[in-house]
């Protein structure tokens, strides 16, 4: 069975799945950790969620697309804003999250921690 891309429910959830970095698959191909979505009591599509580390890479790539330049080319204030956004999304709960973000922003881990601490102290 193929993914019914023309089904209105599959079309409706696709932007959300794309934003998460997930993948739409046919329900009969679903594994135990996939999420099967039904419409009117019938399985229509399954969602394969990304690994957390892949999610962070996906979020960073999306932020780069939104800003239109490499994240390392952003000014300090914008980088701080990016770090706040990433903290809200849980990026720093992922193993090596700080290192991954620091690399994408072109700053040190120490700088990322400073941005996080500045946010927490309300500066």
pLDDT tens digits, 31-85: 999 999 999 999 999 999 887 767 888 889 989 999 999 999 999 999 999 999 9
Confidence at residue 123, expressed as pLDDT on a 0 to 100 scale? 56
How big is the CA angle at 80 (ends 79 and 85), to the nearest 5 degrees? 95
Answer yes or no: do 11 and 61 share one domain. Answer: no
Q: Are residues 35 and 54 in the same domain?
A: no
- Residue 3 pLDDT > 80, yes or no? no
One domain, residues 66 and 40: no
Is 87 in contact with 116 (CB distance < 8 Å)? yes
Task: State whether 58 and 114 are in the same domain.
Answer: yes
Tell whether 72 and 111 lie within a shared domain.
yes
Residue 1 within any structural domain of the chain:
no
Both 108 and 65 in a single domain?
yes
CB 79 within 8 A of CB 71: yes
User: Do 67 and 74 form a contact (C-beta atoms < 8 A)?
Assistant: yes
CA 74 to chain centroid, in Å, comes to: 20
CA-CA distance, 92 to 68, in Å (whole number)? Answer: 23
Same domain, 58 and 112: yes
Question: Which of 112, 94, 113, 95 lies closest to 104, judged by CA?
Answer: 112
Range of the domain at 16: 6-46
Identify the residue whose tokens are 């046919």.
26
Retrieve residue 3's tokens: 């993914």
106 found inside a domain: yes
User: Is the entire prediction scored with pTM above 0.75?
Assistant: no
pLDDT greater than 90 at residue 5: no
* Tally of domains within the chain: 2
How far apart are the C-alpha atoms of 5 and 14, rounded to whole Å?
Answer: 9
- 25: confidence class by pLDDT, cuts 50, 70, 90: very high
Alpha helices (runs of H) in the chain, residue ranges in sequence order:
8-20, 52-67, 76-88, 97-105, 109-121
Do 57 and 69 share a domain, yes or no? Answer: yes
């Amino acid at each position: 069975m193929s993914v019914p891309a023309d089904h209105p429910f599959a079309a409706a959830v696709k932007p959300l799945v794309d934003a998460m970095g997930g993948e739409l698959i046919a329900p009969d191909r679903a594994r135990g950790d996939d999420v099967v979505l039904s419409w009117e009591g019938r399985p229509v599509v399954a969602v394969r969620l990304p690994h957390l580390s892949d999610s962070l890479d996906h979020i960073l790539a999306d932020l780069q697309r939104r800003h239109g330049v490499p994240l390392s080319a952003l000014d300090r204030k914008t980088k701080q804003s990016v770090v706040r956004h990433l903290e809200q999304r849980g990026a720093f709960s992922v193993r090596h999250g700080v290192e991954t973000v620091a690399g994408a922003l072109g700053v040190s881990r120490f700088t990322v921690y400073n941005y996080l601490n500045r946010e927490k102290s309300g500066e």
